[in-house]
Structure 1
């Protein structure tokens, strides 16, 4: 048994290679106490949860963390994480919108809005009004979304049959290869020649195939590249069913994986629009922006 296979089949170490970096941020140049309207978006997904604060229609801060055992606690913990940083209390927030997998279980939300609408709205803010086609690669599903220049959804397709080709699938490969998840994308390009995509990205079969490739002499980097290529091909087939327009934008945690993103771009022949904002908060950001719009409408009455 060669070293690569032995490492992948050995008893798993205590280290959780799949664990991505949780993140909290806020705009230190602004004071939330100066805002007239403060709204919050809570995106409770199957893998991650985000709380985003918007002050007078502008992104102020967010907290992104792993989803816990239940949606209500995940929502509370996500929001508490950013409120603790800035000295805010729940009663300081004017309106809360829940979205994502657990949107109906956000106990303090005033309204629940689908993640498709929220990702479109968030992508419009993050990528500008040129965004027309959005790929949301979440923890357990993929969505292809068309929107107009205001971030309103005009069409969408969804593939949620299993965790294959999603964030959770990449976490499984990370643990199998015993390589930190943040390193998978860059390492997928450290190969002499681009390998063929694995034939199946069903998590169960992909693990078996990955071990088979290691036994056949593939390096870990080659296996990772083959899996990234398979993920890219899978989502591109979804995008091609709905049609890809100029103004292509990717949201979700997988958007941080260049091994998948660059292969998607190569297959489509289109570069994604860039943003400096964390792609993982798009849904919660869109929810907070919807909350701001609703508050404005109430004030205008």
Structure 2
């Protein structure tokens, strides 16, 4: 048997295969989740995983989960991220997930979701904000972090991405160093993530998932602001898809 978890995010789509095969990959979601799902199906087939076979079970999650018309089950992001995060952490934990469209804080206790919080419908505290600001500065997100690490924070005060971009444009016009602007941008996102996280009792173990989860620099900033260690996770970008794959297996096992 193969168990496939598919997390269709607003920016990237993550896929994890557990079972006879062990695979994972990521594709840009693009403008059409439907088209992305077809690409995922074809890529899996190239790997020897046929999603139409009785030997394969698929769970879909994420922003575009309803577009996965070949999924056996569709499960919410909160449930899948909690399952994947718990597995990555090796037990109960709190998960901070910074995605392209939203940021989530999930508290897992006794193996279950005990509490969660999501940001408002605004991209100012998400990966999309960083992407927009990185584009404005003419760098990639990884380069933005490298620049930020070498800079001094200057304030990005606006709560709105559009107005924040105007602040960045003004700083560029004033001749501020790109490193300092980058530091201000990353600090602004970290502040919004921390404000969300502080609404919950996080417990002793906190991990970062999502597209920024590999960044030691970003987890360091979050740790300082929360006054609590936030752990980076190399596989954290795939937490939702990983949780979906694990749930696909568990749902199959329950039917036996």
Using the size of structure 2 for normalisation, the TM-score is: 0.93
1:83 to partner: Cα distance: 3.9
Give distance in 2, aligned partners of 1:123 and 1:83.
Answer: 27
Alignment correspondent of 2:80: 118
1:82 to partner: Cα distance: 4.2
Alignment correspondent of 1:190: 150
Alignment correspondent of 2:247: 290
Give distance in 1, aligned partners of 2:213 and 2:124.
Answer: 16
Give distance in 2, aligned partners of 1:78 and 1:243.
Answer: 37
Alignment correspondent of 2:107: 146
2:214/2:233 contact within 8 Å kept: no
Match of 2:139 among 170, 179, 196: 179
Structure 1 243/39 Cα, relative in aligned 2: closer, same or farther at 3 Å?
same
Alignment correspondent of 1:72: 34
2:216/2:232 contact within 8 Å kept: no
1:79 to partner: Cα distance: 4.1
Structure 1 187/82 Cα, relative in aligned 2: closer, same or farther at 3 Å?
farther
Alignment correspondent of 1:132: 93
1:140/1:168 contact within 8 Å kept: yes
Match of 2:158 among 172, 184, 200: 200
Using the size of structure 1 for normalisation, the TM-score is: 0.79
Alignment correspondent of 1:240: 198
Match of 2:3 among 39, 47, 50: 39
Task: Give the 5 Å matches for 1:151-170.
Answer: 152-170=112-130
Give distance in 2, aligned partners of 1:80 and 1:121.
Answer: 27
Give distance in 1, aligned partners of 2:14 and 2:40.
Answer: 6
The size of the alignment, in residue pairs, is: 255
Unaligned runs of 5+ in 1: 1-36
Match of 2:170 among 200, 204, 212: 212
Q: Is 1:87 matched with 2:51?
A: no
SS class of match (1:135): strand
Give distance in 2, aligned partners of 1:83 and 1:229.
Answer: 42
1:123 to partner: Cα distance: 0.6
1:185/1:258 contact within 8 Å kept: no
Alignment correspondent of 1:250: 208
Q: Output one character per residue of 1:74-127: Cα deviation in whole Å (capped at 9) or x when no partner.
A: 22323433442x333224542111101111221100111000110010011112
Give distance in 1, aligned partners of 2:175 and 2:216.
Answer: 25
Q: Rg larger in 1 or in 2?
A: 1
1:270 to partner: Cα distance: 1.7
Unaligned runs of 5+ in 2: none
